[in-house]
């Protein structure tokens, strides 16, 4: 799998095989990490966000336009690639510079929004480790973050980086009925990580002692591994601070500043996360947050040492995601503007998850969740140099490094109805229904539903999912060992290995939520992979959750394509395939659909220099306190940082924003 970073000045015509439906309409947006594969075997989830827009606004035509999400940290990354002092490196699924901070790669998902009184839809692009950014749907330019840096809290506060690592959700939500957007900002004191960092420090020192040549070579670098070690230890000193446990729920009206509430338990203690909030959900009366089985942030930085190939870092630092899903439910009526905190009620659902959907309606105070339980699958992990196939002594091929590793059990589709009438008084009653399908539910990762029902559907009756499938090439010993004693196991490990040997192909399927059955599906040929599904309603037709088309990415042994299915007849296969000689998508992720696109009209914008300058000034003072740097190196680093912001970021990014 590979993904180039080619951009288009204007839409290009796609090659059409089959019949392009005349009632296919609007614009499909797809986001994917680009620039793959990396030479160091970095995870395919890492990479600059590439925005793809497919235009179906002219009968008989399909056009494509591509543009990188170029936030200020993207400008910093491209400008420092040849500056040894400042350049960014890949650390698992995040990208980090020890002397600048973290990348907000904007490579994960979108959120369409249409605020009251506005004529046009607006679109956010998102990432788990950064603020969401609004883009211009016509030009695809990255325009502005939501909220300035003073409105957000960084995960690392000491030292306070000029490009801070901000943890949020890749899936904020929008209430079309009340014209409100919700997102989160969170941090972890990470006392659980303090031991990891101590072990990491010991491992680095041991690796250096074992390889004197590495030590000599590193000592010659202006920013050596010893300086990075100093920074790592300074970060660790702040990790034990219990105040770093926070979850802040944010509400935005599209125009003004963010409204914020810190989540607390009923005893007023802060909500503590062990993993991440990859997704949140919204009903008419409640906000639902999940501690998802997906780990990002500083944990990725200490879980990957590209400078020390002799260090098997994952054996030291990996921890298995929780086998349960922890939910936090907040009453929207409790979000009073004269309060700074709000009570979040904890609910536990068996089996882990990363993605879920919620019915907007909550009749009789009953919340309905639709969850893809990715059983025994750590989606934040990838194939690494030391990985071997189960019960074999052979390493995985080098051309697979960076690919998602395979799951160690079949996934379960879950529907959970939570009675919250006595929320806070007693454990809520939960009516759970689980199902799996021997062909379809191997790694359901991405889904779609009819956007014609509204951005926040009252009731989801049909959801379309794509599954990753089960691949022998991605089934590794490390994950076999990690999930050997998985508590919710459905498929015995020996049987799973036999199934992986045979292979279970990727599927596109429709889940009927009321009956919890799969009435329609399409299974690919072996060696094919479907990702990034998007429902497109038929033009001028009756509104229905199945009356439309599913547009998705298809990775074939020959090339990358866009496939189009009739949403009512998945089993008939794709009715149309789109391609282009320059189309190399990579591991595409989430999607959005807009009926119309237009140049952005909203006035909300955060000025770049105003956003960053105080952090830059504080950082330049901090550089002087580093003990492992020589004075001449400190002077050079400060000079490079000043020039970077003044000549590159403030000049180029500010002009891009003003022209958007």
Terminal Cα-to-Cα distance of the chain (whole angstroms): 33
What secondary structure letter does DSSP report for 576? E
Q: Classify burial at 529, counting beta carbons within 10 Å of its beta carbon; exposed 0-12, middle 13-18, buried 19 or more.
A: buried
Single out the residue of 608, 584, 538, 658 nearest to residue 71, CA to CA. 608
Q: Are 102 and 129 in contact (CB under 8 A)?
A: yes
Numbered residues of the known binding site for Fe cation: 171, 278, 355, 590
Q: Which two tokens stand for residue 319?
A: 């921890």
Numbered residues of the known binding site: 171, 278, 355, 590
Partners of 348 in the β-ladder:
326
Q: What interhelical angle do 212-219 and 191-210 show, nearest 10?
A: 100
In our burial notation (b when 16+ CB lie closer than 10 A, e otherwise), range 535-555 reads bbbbeeeeebbbbbbbbbbbb
Which residues, at least 6 apart from 603, have a Cβ–Cβ distance to it below 8 Å? 255
Q: Are 417 and 367 in contact (CB under 8 A)?
A: yes
Q: Are 415 and 432 in contact (CB under 8 A)?
A: yes
Q: Which two tokens stand for residue 142?
A: 């990255």
Whole-number Å distance between alpha carbons of 596 and 36: 31
Whole-number Å distance between alpha carbons of 558 and 550: 22
Q: Are 198 and 316 in contact (CB under 8 A)?
A: no
Angle at 399 between CA 397 and CA 402, to 5 degrees: 100
Per DSSP, helices labelled H in 13-137 are 72-79
Place of tokens 């691949």: 471
Give the pairing of strands 286-291 and 173-175: unpaired
3-state secondary structure of 637: helix
Q: Are 93 and 300 in contact (CB under 8 A)?
A: yes
Q: Which two tokens stand for residue 384?
A: 């690494």
CA dihedral 303, 308, 312, 318 (to 10 degrees): 0
Whole-number Å distance between alpha carbons of 117 and 257: 18
Provide the 10 A C-beta neighbour count for residue 582.
Answer: 11
Q: Are 215 and 266 in contact (CB under 8 A)?
A: no
Single out the residue of 477, 405, 294, 383 nearest to residue 40, CA to CA. 383
Say whether the peptide bond before residue 480 is cis (omega within 30 degrees of 0). Answer: no
3-state secondary structure of 544: coil
């Amino acid at each position: 799998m590979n993904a180039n970073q080619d951009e288009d000045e204007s839409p290009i015509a796609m090659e059409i095989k089959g019949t392009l439906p005349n009632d296919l309409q609007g614009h499909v947006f797809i986001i994917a990490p680009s620039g793959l594969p990396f030479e160091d075997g970095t995870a395919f989830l890492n990479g600059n966000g590439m925005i793809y827009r497919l235009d179906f606004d002219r009968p008989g035509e399909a056009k494509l336009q591509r543009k990188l999400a170029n936030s200020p940290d993207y400008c910093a990354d491209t400008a420092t690639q040849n500056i040894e002092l400042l350049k960014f490196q890949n650390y698992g699924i995040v990208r980090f510079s020890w002397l600048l901070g973290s990348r907000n790669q904007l490579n994960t998902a979108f959120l369409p929004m249409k605020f009251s009184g506005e004529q046009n839809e607006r679109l956010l692009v998102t990432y788990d480790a950064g603020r969401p950014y609004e883009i211009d749907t016509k030009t695809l330019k990255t325009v502005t973050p939501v909220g300035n840096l003073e409105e957000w809290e960084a995960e690392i506060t000491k030292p306070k980086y000029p490009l801070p690592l901000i943890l949020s959700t890749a899936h904020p939500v929008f209430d079309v009925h009340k014209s409100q957007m919700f997102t989160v900002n969170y941090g972890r004191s990470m006392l659980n990580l303090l031991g990891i960092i101590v072990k990491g420090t010991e491992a680095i020192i041991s690796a250096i002692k074992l390889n004197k040549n590495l030590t000599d070579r590193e000592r010659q670098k202006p920013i050596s591994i010893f300086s990075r070690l100093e920074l790592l230890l300074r970060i660790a000193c702040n990790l034990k601070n219990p105040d770093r446990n926070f979850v802040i729920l944010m509400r935005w009206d599209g125009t003004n500043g963010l409204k914020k509430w810190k989540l607390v338990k009923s005893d007023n203690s802060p909500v503590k996360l062990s993993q991440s909030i990859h997704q949140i959900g919204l009903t008419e009366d409640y906000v639902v947050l999940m501690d998802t089985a997906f780990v990002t942030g500083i944990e990725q930085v200490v879980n990957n040492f590209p400078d020390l190939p002799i260090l098997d870092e994952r054996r030291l630092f990996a921890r298995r995601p929780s086998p349960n899903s922890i939910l936090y439910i907040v009453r929207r009526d409790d979000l009073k503007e004269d309060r700074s905190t709000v009570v979040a009620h904890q609910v536990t659902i068996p089996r882990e998850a990363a993605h879920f959907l919620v019915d907007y309606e909550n009749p009789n105070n009953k919340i309905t969740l639709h969850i893809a339980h990715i059983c025994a699958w750590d989606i934040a992990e990838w194939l690494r140099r030391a990985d071997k196939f189960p019960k074999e002594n052979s390493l995985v091929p080098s051309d697979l490094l960076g690919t998602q590793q395979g799951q160690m059990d079949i996934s379960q589709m879950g529907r959970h109805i939570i009675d919250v009438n006595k929320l806070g008084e007693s454990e809520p009653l939960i009516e759970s229904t689980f199902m799996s399908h021997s062909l379809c539910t191997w790694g359901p990762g991405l889904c779609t539903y009819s956007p014609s029902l509204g951005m926040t559907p009252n009731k989801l009756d049909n959801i379309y999912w794509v599954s990753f499938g089960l691949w022998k090439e991605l089934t590794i010993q490390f994950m076999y060992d990690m999930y050997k004693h998985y508590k919710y196991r459905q498929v015995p490990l020996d049987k799973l290995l036999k199934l992986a040997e045979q292979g279970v192909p990727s599927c596109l399927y429709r889940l009927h939520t009321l009956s919890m059955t799969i009435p329609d599906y399409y299974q690919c040929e072996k060696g094919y992979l479907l990702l990034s599904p998007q429902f497109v309603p038929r033009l001028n037709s009756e509104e229905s959750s199945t009356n439309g088309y599913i547009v998705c990415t298809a990775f074939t042994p020959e090339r990358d394509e866009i496939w189009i299915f009739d949403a009512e007849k998945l089993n008939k296969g794709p009715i149309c395939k789109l391609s282009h000689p320059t189309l190399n998508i990579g591991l595409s992720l989430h999607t959005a659909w807009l009926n119309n696109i237009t140049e952005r009209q909203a006035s909300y914008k955060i000025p770049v220099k105003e956003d960053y300058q105080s952090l830059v000034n504080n950082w330049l003072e901090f550089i002087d306190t580093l003990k492992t740097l020589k004075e001449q190196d400190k002077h050079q680093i400060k000079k490079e940082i000043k020039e970077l912001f003044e000549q590159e970021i403030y000049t180029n990014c500010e002009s891009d924003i003003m022209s958007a």
